[in-house]
């Protein structure tokens, strides 16, 4: 077995970084990524983070939640279903720079009256003016370089009233080879396989996240490793 260098974050681009990706290739890849995230327990990590931030909030208060890099909105639909069982009143907004992904999200979420989508660059002035109670970064942070991450988290800290929930990948050779084996059996999608492996190499070690934490203005942090090879980082206001 060949070795993978995980000592530093990869700067290799993913196919999904192309915001012009569209059609059946985009739709199938988003579906497969949703399935992978569900199978490997990723959605639960985000929902538990939201639950932590809401534990002192009354259920009759409307809570505004945004998911940046939302793709087809799968995480938001899971949160909407969870909130319905808990009697939380949520207004959910999906933000993505790929207009084609936004259109898919709108179609899949037609039955969710509390869910809307916006095609925006999260570094744009338009997005910076928006305020939410909670902002989610689910498998989004690893798409950016270190300084961009620090700048973004400082920005989001100012936009979120309650806090931020980050759910992203642990960069490790074990995760890389286990995902490769998983894909060989369960994933018949070249984009999902290729991007998934690159994503792991663009992911984080705990010391990376600790370094970002020390360079942003927020002071209340919880960084925990979760199965399968994820980090849950909750930033509380």
Is residue 22 included in any domain, yes or no? no
Is residue 189 included in any domain, yes or no? no
| pLDDT score of 34 | 83
Is residue 174 included in any domain, yes or no? no
| pLDDT score of 180 | 95
Total domains, the chain: 1
Is residue 85 included in any domain, yes or no? yes
Distance between CA 26 and CA 28 in Å, rounded? Answer: 6
| pLDDT score of 1 | 55
The reported pTM is 0.95
Question: What H or E segment, with its residue span, contains residue 47?
Answer: helix 42-54
Q: Residue 45 belongs to what domain range?
A: 41-169+204-236
Distance between CA 116 and CA 125 in Å, rounded? Answer: 20
Q: pLDDT in tens for each of the 237 residues of the chain?
A: 578 999 999 999 998 888 777 777 787 888 888 888 888 888 999 999 999 999 999 988 999 999 999 999 999 999 999 999 999 999 999 999 999 999 999 999 999 999 999 999 999 999 999 999 999 999 999 999 999 999 999 999 999 999 999 999 999 999 999 999 999 999 889 999 999 999 999 999 999 999 999 999 999 999 999 999 999 999 999
Is residue 48 included in any domain, yes or no? yes
DSSP state of 17: G
Is residue 144 included in any domain, yes or no? yes
Is residue 179 included in any domain, yes or no? no
Using the structure block, give the residue that is written with the tokens 């993978």: 4
| pLDDT score of 16 | 86
Distance between CA 136 and CA 145 in Å, rounded? Answer: 18
Distance between CA 160 and CA 235 in Å, rounded? Answer: 10
| pLDDT score of 28 | 84
Is residue 99 included in any domain, yes or no? yes
The CATH number covering residue 45 comes to 3.40.50.150
């Amino acid at each position: 077995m060949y070795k993978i260098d995980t000592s530093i974050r990869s700067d290799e681009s993913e196919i999904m970084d192309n915001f012009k990706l569209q059609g059946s290739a985009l739709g199938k890849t988003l579906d497969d990524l949703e399935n992978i995230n569900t199978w490997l327990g990723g959605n639960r990590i985000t929902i538990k983070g939201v639950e932590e931030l809401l534990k002192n909030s009354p259920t009759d208060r409307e809570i505004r939640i945004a998911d940046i890099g939302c793709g087809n909105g799968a995480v938001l639909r899971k949160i909407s279903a969870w909130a319905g069982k808990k009697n939380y009143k949520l207004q959910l907004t999906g933000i993505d720079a790929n207009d084609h992904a936004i259109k898919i999200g709108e179609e899949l979420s037609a039955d969710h009256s509390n869910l809307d989508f916006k095609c925006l660059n999260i570094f744009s002035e338009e997005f910076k003016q928006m305020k939410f109670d909670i902002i989610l970064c689910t498998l989004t942070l690893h798409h950016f370089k270190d300084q961009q991450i620090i700048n973004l988290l400082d920005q989001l800290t100012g936009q979120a009233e309650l806090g931020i929930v980050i759910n992203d990948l642990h960069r490790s050779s074990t995760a890389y080879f286990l995902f490769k084996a998983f894909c060989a059996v369960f994933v018949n999608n070249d984009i999902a396989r290729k991007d998934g492996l690159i994503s792991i190499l663009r992911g984080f070690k705990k010391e990376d996240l600790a370094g970002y934490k020390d360079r942003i203005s927020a002071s209340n942090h919880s960084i925990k490793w979760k199965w399968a090879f994820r980090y849950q980082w909750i930033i509380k206001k």
